[in-house]
Structure 1
Amino acid sequence: MKHLTLALVIGAISSSAAAATYDLPFKGQDFGDHEKVHTFDHAQNYSQKHGFDMGARRYDFDNSRWTSVTTTVADYNAAPTNNKFVVYNKSIYAMHAGKVIGCWRNAPENPRPKLSGDSDTTKPWLHSNLKNGLMPGGGNMLWIEHSDGTRMLYAHMIPGSISTSLCPHNATAYPAAIGDNSEMLYVAVPAAQQASISKGQYLGRVGNSGNSTGPHLHIHLQNSGGEGQLISFNRGIAATPDDTKPYPSWTRFAGSTIPTGSQLIWAPRTVGSQYVRHGMKAEMMQGFFSHLADSGFKASWFDGYSVSGNSFYNMVWEPANLAWRGFFGQSSAGYQQVFNQAIEDGYAPVQVDSHQTGSGTRYSVIFEKKPLATLAKHGLTYAQHMQVMDQAKDLNMRPVSVSVVSSGGDRRYTVLYQQQNVGSWTVSSQLTSAAYQNKVNSELEAGRRPIYLNSYVHQGEVNYTAVFSQLPQLSWGAKHGQTSAQFQTQFDNFSGQGYQTEVVSGVDGLNQHNFGGIWTKN
């Protein structure tokens, strides 16, 4: 199992180099789990020598390949249309603040992508207006000038997807062929009508207009003299596409340009209050870890569990506001090693977890760089667990994680305590489903609510571990015994009411997915 260590200093990178770096023109949330931006080396010329043509690819599991279309090859070849491209209609966002100095918004789209065998003389894939010099080479496009005098071209968008508030030109074609004139004769925006643009603002949608062989976004940066400039990016991770690897290894390129050659790009997603996933395949975990960390999140919850011998993860991520490290899928020895190193480097554990696999127990841990007194142990017997709990009470610590696995007929405990006031608290680790519900009810009568939940199969029966505490006093909700669809419904309901996800627990050792969760609201 792969793991990743990341002490987040992303904010420092972005802020210190904001004037010289750019956001990617796409956002991760607009792409499916198995869809990625794709780019490759652009043709070299004076103005576009550092530009990019950006498409997208998805992994086709049925045919074990990365492909640029949403259908089968046979279906695409039978009817090759623009809307069958993965990238078609994806939203485009401003890479930097500036003002619109040139644009076009209603040029007709090319009838179809270029096909092998098409004549380069007649160019049947191009719209007649382009061939007759009646539209910009960039089709529907925006020229955005930045405060340092550089300007970025965003080209080939869908007709009408650029709003009139950004582009005042509404004609479908030039009034006359451009001839030997510069296209700025028609696309330039008068100073009084130049719209201000904020970084990250929606601009339009990827299409196939202008001098284009298929749906894609063309971007390039040039100085006031028209010479192409290198584009360095605030965030982003890249991987070389390999048809044998649906889950490739990703490399971060923040503060530099995109690596050369054919590259898959995982654009960062917008950092909201939380990002929560349940039932994620272990094979996907490393990629999402890299992506979310690069986007500016930090992990606050990892929960591993197994179904029919296969590992899955539940996770909660929040905006990063301090340095942190996270590990998952660790052996006992590996877990202890990263734990010791983190403590030596001034990090404190804030959440731990364990789950059982065919190759033994695997551990996860999240650290944050802050002063915090903690007590953590793993691989404990029940008797040892009780001894550590008594020790924690003597140190005035409260339980944060009490993760249990069933191994060789015995329960093994991985625990974390912190020195933090939560009022009175209790821990129960061998509850059946019915007993857990009864425990919730009795604890409520005592003024305590659930703050932690872990679930596992022991001797053929689902067991729950729960921590109940008096503080903090918040509005809360909890569910257990949920299918994936039921859990998603509960998550949507609670999130829609302004609740935050505190816990997502999957039953470790079942032959089907089964979830529990805890939500809170201030």
Structure 2
Amino acid sequence: MRTTRMLAVAAVALAVAATPAAAHAQASTAPVAYHGLTSAQQTQKFQELSGKGYVPVSLSISSGPSYAGVWVKSSGAAWAMFQDMSAQGYQQRFDEYSVKGYQPTVVTATGSGDAARFAAVFVKKSGNFIARHNMTIEQLTSGNLDAMAKGLMLTSIDVYGTAGAPTYAAIWTPNTSGVKWHVTYDLSSADHSAAFKLRLSNGYRPAYVAVDPGGTYTTIWRKDKVDSWFEYTGMSSSGYQSRFNELKTKGYYPAQVNSEDGKYAAIWTK
């Protein structure tokens, strides 16, 4: 397969041919995860990993900006990654790539107002989807109801803005298996732990966790089955690394990682 890459200086644009593997079982080697990278280091990591046939399945931009990501090795459908974009820049990339048959699979943002910065992964694939950003919590709640009515589910979410005025970016994709799902917003660490225990007892699990400005959590919960997984929140950079090292020895790797203001949340699977 011929591989192409594009790298621009302003609002760094990265693109390569590959497959957006949805599960680690599809990967031929262990996933690669990193965190605390500058924009320049993120660009270097893209060049290194895309050159080895890896694709990003999780991406987070936080204040700094600082990047965290998870990549798996696979090949197939074309995909593109863009980083350090303004909200307008993200919209322009969305419009540009939508007409080419691409859909966003991950969108992440940090900061507020004109200073907000975005990063996103687009994949060339068919099917219905909804992607929106710069939403209030009321707009996100309405978006969830609209998506459910259309047979879609929330699969990517990030929270930016400020603690007093959080702003949301989200992607909804087909809920082909009819999985029950819902979202909790702006929960403190204690409230998130209580929600975790309650939802776990009702058969739900955290499928995506975002760290909000101010250190609260927004979580997508799904009532589906994953054989073995771990979720940890409230981690510092070193705490996340310690958990990574500990779980790696047991055969677990991050499936999703998110951070803001030096605080990390992540989900590990085998």
TM-score by length of 1: 0.46
Contact 1:422 1:469 in 2 (8 A): no
Q: State whether structure 2 residue 187 is matched by structure 1 residue 431.
A: yes
Shift, 1:298, TM fit: 1.0
Q: Which amino acid aligns with 1:517?
A: A
Offset at residue 493 of structure 1 (A): 1.9
**Paired residue for 2:39?**
282
Q: How far apart in 2 are the matches of 1:358 and 1:386?
A: 21
Q: Secondary structure at the match of 2:17?
A: coil
Shift of 1:390: 0.9
- Aligned with 1:468: secondary structure? strand
Q: Work out the percentage of aligned pairs sharing the same amino acid.
A: 24
Segments of 5+ residues of structure 1 without an aligned counterpart are 11-270
Matches within 5 A, 1:470-481: 470-481=223-234
Higher helix share: 2
Amino acid at match of 2:249: G
Distance (whole Å) between structure 1 residues aligned to residue 47 and residue 137 of structure 2: 36
Q: Deviations over 1:251-296 (max 9, x none)?
A: xxxxxxxxxxxxxxxxxxxx83211001112231112112211221
C-alpha separation between the residues in 1 aligned to 2:196 and 2:225?
Answer: 16
Match of 2:61 in 1: 304
User: Residues 422, 361 of structure 1: CA spacing in aligned structure 2 closer, same or farther, 3 A cutoff?
Assistant: farther
C-alpha deviation, 1:474, in angstroms? 2.6
Alignment-derived partner of residue 410 in structure 1: 165
**Equivalent residue letter for 2:140:** H
Residue 79 of structure 1 is matched in structure 2 by none
Deviations 1:109-156 (A, max 9, x none): xxxxxxxxxxxxxxxxxxxxxxxxxxxxxxxxxxxxxxxxxxxxxxxx
Shift of 1:311: 1.2
Task: Tell me whether 1:515 sits opposite 2:264 in the alignment.
Answer: yes
What's 1:450 paired with? 206
Question: Matched residue of 1:473: which SS?
Answer: coil
Residue-pair matches, total: 251
2:135 is matched with: 380
For residues 436 and 329 of structure 1, the distance between their equivalents in structure 2, rounded to whole angstroms, comes to 30
Question: Does the alignment pair 1:6 with 2:10?
Answer: no
Deviation, 1:405, is: 1.3
Aligned to 1:124: none
| Unaligned 5+ runs, structure 2 | 1-9, 20-27
- Structure 1 residues 422 and 472: CA distance shift in structure 2, 3 A: farther
* One of 356, 365, 368 as aligned partner of 2:123: 368
Q: How much does 1:400 deviate? A: 0.8
The equivalent of 2:150 in structure 1 is 395
Partner amino acid, structure 1, of 2:68:
N
TM-score in terms of structure 2 length: 0.86
Residues 422 and 485 (structure 1 numbering): CA distance in 2 closer, same or farther, change over 3 Å? farther
Cα deviation for residue 372 of structure 1 reads 2.9
Aligned to 1:44: none
Residue in 1 that maps onto 2:197: 441
Partner residue in 2 for 1:196: none
For 2:7, the equivalent position in structure 1 comes to: none
**Offset at 1:9?**
6.4
How far did 1:357 drift? 6.3
Looking at structure 1, the residues matched to 131 and 113 of structure 2 have their Cα atoms a distance apart, in angstroms, of 25
One-letter identity of the residue aligned with 1:516 = A
Q: Which has the larger radius of gyration?
A: 1
Post-superposition Cα deviations, 1:321-354, rounded to whole Å, max 9, x if no partner, equal 2221111221111101111122211122211111
Q: Which residue of 1 aligns with 2:245?
A: 492
Alignment of 1:47-446 (within 5 A): 272-306=29-63, 310-322=64-76, 323-356=78-111, 360-407=115-162, 409-420=164-175, 421=177, 423-446=179-202
Give the whole-Å Cα distance in 2 for the aligned partners of 1:436 and 1:519: 17
Is the contact made by 1:352 and 1:365 (CA closer than 8 Å) also made in structure 2? yes
Deviation at 1:499, TM superposition (A): 1.8
Which residue identity lines up with residue 488 of structure 1 in the other structure?
Q
Letter in 2 for 1:299: P
CA contact (8 A) 2:211 2:263 kept: no
Q: Specify whether residues 519 and 408 from structure 1 end up closer, same or farther in structure 2 by C-alpha distance, changes over 3 A only.
A: closer
Highest RCO, 1 vs 2 (Cα 8 Å, sep ≥ 6): 2
Does structure 2 retain, via aligned residues, the 8 Å contact 1:4–1:286?
A: no
Whole-angstrom distance in 2 between the partners of 1:407 and 1:495: 34
1:472 offset after TM fit, Å?
3.9
Question: Offset at 1:496?
Answer: 1.9
Change (3 A) 1:312 1:359: farther
RMSD over equivalenced CA pairs, Å: 2.0
- 2:256 counterpart residue number: 503
What stretches of structure 1 move > 4 A for 4+ residues in a row? none
In structure 1, distance between residues paired with 2:163 and 2:265:
25
CA distance in 2, matches of 1:498, 1:442: 27
- Cα deviation for residue 302 of structure 1 reads 0.9
- The structure in which a higher percent of residues are strand is 2
Q: How far 1:2 moved relative to its partner?
A: 3.7
Residue deviations 1:176-231, cap 9 Å, x none?
xxxxxxxxxxxxxxxxxxxxxxxxxxxxxxxxxxxxxxxxxxxxxxxxxxxxxxxx
- Give the secondary-structure state (helix, strand or coil) at the position aligned to 1:345: coil
Q: Which amino acid aligns with 1:444?
A: L
Q: Structure 1 residue 480: deviation in Å?
A: 1.1
Which residue does 2:4 correspond to in 1? none
Partners of 1:390 and 1:357 in 2: CA distance: 26
